[in-house]
């Protein structure tokens, strides 16, 4: 339901529901400062949808976003809010917007936030634009999400360190990275760190072949192996056990976990957040709402959210082929 809205926007709110991602603060700053630049009142909704349901809404000014361009997390805080699935809670949230004469919303978040924004917009006709922000990069309609590049860099840095131990001890490491049901982090971080194998939910894996590859590597005198496993495969322990038992070698498991969600956003994540934050406001003021405001081929792009509902973003299998080819 992307549409041209008739009424002029005089006041808008910004919210970061769902998981935090590095660069969310940069996006909040861009939204707030763009709104103020155009003379629009801007409100920050604290603690995601929970805060909107419960009236945790405060007016923001240029100073309220000073010094946050480089800070991880979200200054608005967030909370998983399953109760937002209930119509009665969404009605309470809508009432809080009406109470303050808020005419539009910019939502900064992941796949779940995009879906709930769509339901909210459909139900109450409130203009919403969504900025894709999640470390998972699993949102269609944009090449990259805010936070993904930072998370990949964090994972690569960690894997470079693990490689030192792997090489010194001539060990195999099985490393779990985040990504929910998708392998975007695993694939990019695996390619960039020279991982010997990348296991992702999108592609069937074969432990026998993996063991053969390691055996061949040992015969060639290879000193270390890094196997990256996306969390969605739920396969780290199984993989480690299989390799240990079938090859009689030392295998260690590391879960990179929440370090991937935190930290100062990379220059790429910040630049993306600045561009998308400003665009989300500018297009709304130009009367366009119901869009995912993303980036395709390095340009800001608008995709109607209605076209993205229940669409799965495709992973680049050629990148996996490349990673495999270069690792052997
Ligand atoms: O969506 C970001 C993400 O970190 C996923 O990679 C992970 O599966 C999930 O969030 C963890 O969620 P929670 O913060 O609820 O533990």
Q: Considering the domain boundaries, does residue 327 fall inside one? A: no
Kindly indicate the confidence band of residue 328, based on its pLDDT and cuts at 50, 70 and 90: confident
Nearest CA to ligand 1 atom 8: 180
- Cα of 28 from ligand 1 centre, angstroms: 20
Q: Considering the domain boundaries, does residue 324 fall inside one? A: no
- Cα of 19 from ligand 1 centre, angstroms: 6
CA distances from 139 to 142, 145, 289 (A): 7, 7, 18
**pTM across the whole model:** 0.97
Pair 27, 137 in one domain: yes
Say what the pLDDT of residue 4 is.
65
CA distances from 224 to 159, 171, 196, 228, 229 (A): 12, 5, 9, 13, 16
Pair 83, 107 in one domain: yes
Residue written as token pair 């406001």? 281
Pair 222, 75 in one domain: no
- Convert the pLDDT of each residue in 133-162 to its tens digit: 999 999 999 999 999 999 999 999 999 999
* Residue 242 contacts residue 207 (beta carbons within 8 Å): yes
Nearest CA to ligand 1 atom 7: 180
Domain's final residue, options 261, 283, 299: 261
Secondary structure (DSSP) of 130-149: EEEB-TT---TT-S--BTHH
Bridge partners (DSSP) of residue 15 are 45, 107
Kindly indicate the confidence band of residue 183, based on its pLDDT and cuts at 50, 70 and 90: very high
Burial-class residue 298 by CB neighbours within 10 Å (0-12, 13-18, 19+): exposed
- Cα of 112 from ligand 1 centre, angstroms: 11
Pair 24, 86 in one domain: yes
Q: Considering the domain boundaries, does residue 315 fall inside one? A: no
Q: Considering the domain boundaries, does residue 178 fall inside one? A: yes
Pair 181, 50 in one domain: no
Q: Considering the domain boundaries, does residue 229 fall inside one? A: yes
Say what the pLDDT of residue 5 is.
67
Q: For residue 159, what is the DSSP state?
A: H
What is the rounded CA–CA span in Å between residue 173 and residue 251? 6
Pair 94, 217 in one domain: no
The number of CA neighbours under 13 Å toward the Cβ of 140 is: 13
Nearest atom in ligand 1 to the alpha carbon of residue 180 is 8
CATH code of the domain in which 72 resides: 3.40.50.450
3-state secondary structure (DSSP) of residue 207: helix
Pair 135, 188 in one domain: no
Pair 73, 87 in one domain: yes
Which residue, 1, 78, 23, 48, is CA-closest to 292?
1
To test the pocket of ligand 1, the residue of 180, 186, 231, 257 to mutate (highest count of ligand atoms within 8 Å of its CB) is 180
To test the pocket of ligand 1, the residue of 18, 77, 178 to mutate (highest count of ligand atoms within 8 Å of its CB) is 178
Say what the pLDDT of residue 194 is.
98
* Residue 320 contacts residue 306 (beta carbons within 8 Å): no
- Convert the pLDDT of each residue in 27-81 to its tens digit: 999 999 999 999 999 999 999 999 999 999 999 999 999 999 999 999 999 999 9
Pair 29, 139 in one domain: yes
What is the rounded CA–CA span in Å between residue 214 and residue 220? 10
Domain's final residue, options 230, 245, 261: 261
Report the pocket of ligand 1 as residue ranges, CB < 6 Å.
19, 80, 110, 134-136, 178-180, 231, 261
Residues involved in catalysis: 136
Burial code of 42-73, b = ≥16 C-beta within 10 A, e = fewer?
A: bbbbbbbbbbbbbebbeebeeeebeebbebbb
- Cα of 41 from ligand 1 centre, angstroms: 32
Q: For residue 311, what is the DSSP state?
A: P
Q: Considering the domain boundaries, does residue 312 fall inside one? A: no
Nearest CA to ligand 1 atom 9: 180
Q: Considering the domain boundaries, does residue 320 fall inside one? A: no
CATH code of the domain in which 174 resides: 3.40.50.460
Pair 160, 139 in one domain: no
What is the rounded CA–CA span in Å between residue 7 and residue 9? 6
Q: Considering the domain boundaries, does residue 135 fall inside one? A: yes
Kindly indicate the confidence band of residue 306, based on its pLDDT and cuts at 50, 70 and 90: very high
Containing domain of residue 212, as a range? 150-261
Pair 40, 183 in one domain: no
Query: What's the structural domain count of the chain?
Result: 2
Pair 235, 273 in one domain: no
* Residue 225 contacts residue 251 (beta carbons within 8 Å): no
Say what the pLDDT of residue 152 is.
98
Nearest atom in ligand 1 to the alpha carbon of residue 258 is 4
């Amino acid at each position: 339901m992307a549409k041209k809205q008739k009424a002029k926007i005089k006041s808008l709110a910004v919210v970061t529901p769902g998981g935090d991602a590095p660069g969310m603060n940069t996006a909040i700053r861009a939204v707030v400062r763009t709104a103020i630049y155009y003379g629009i009142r801007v409100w920050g909704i604290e603690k995601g949808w929970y805060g909107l349901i419960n009236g945790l809404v405060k007016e923001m000014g240029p100073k309220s976003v000073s010094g946050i361009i480089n800070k991880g997390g979200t200054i608005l805080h967030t909370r998983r809010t399953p109760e937002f699935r209930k119509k009665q809670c969404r009605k309470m949230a809508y009432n809080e917007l009406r109470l303050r004469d808020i005419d539009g919303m910019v939502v900064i978040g992941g796949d779940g936030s995009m879906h709930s924004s769509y339901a909210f917009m459909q139900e109450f006709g409130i203009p919403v634009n969504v900025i894709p922000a999640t470390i998972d990069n699993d949102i269609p309609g944009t090449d990259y999400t805010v936070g993904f590049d930072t998370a990949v860099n964090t994972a690569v840095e960690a894997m470079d360190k693990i490689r030192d131990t792997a090489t010194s001890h001539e060990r195999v490491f099985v490393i779990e990275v985040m990504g929910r049901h998708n392998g975007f982090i695993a694939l990019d971080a695996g390619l960039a760190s020279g991982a010997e194998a990348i296991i992702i939910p999108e592609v069937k894996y074969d432990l026998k072949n993996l063991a053969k590859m390691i055996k061949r590597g040992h015969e060639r005198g290879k000193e270390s192996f890094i196997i990256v496993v996306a969390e969605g495969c739920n396969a780290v322990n199984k993989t480690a056990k299989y390799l240990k038992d079938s090859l009689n070698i030392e295998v260690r498991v590391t879960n990179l976990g929440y370090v991937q969600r935190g930290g100062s956003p990379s220059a790429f994540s910040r630049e993306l957040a600045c561009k998308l934050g400003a665009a989300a406001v500018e297009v709304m003021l130009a009367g366009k709402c119901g869009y995912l405001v993303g980036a395709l081929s390095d340009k800001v792009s608008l995709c109607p959210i209605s076209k993205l509902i229940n669409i799965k973003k495709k992973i680049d299998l050629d990148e996996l082929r490349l990673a495999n080819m270069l690792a052997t």
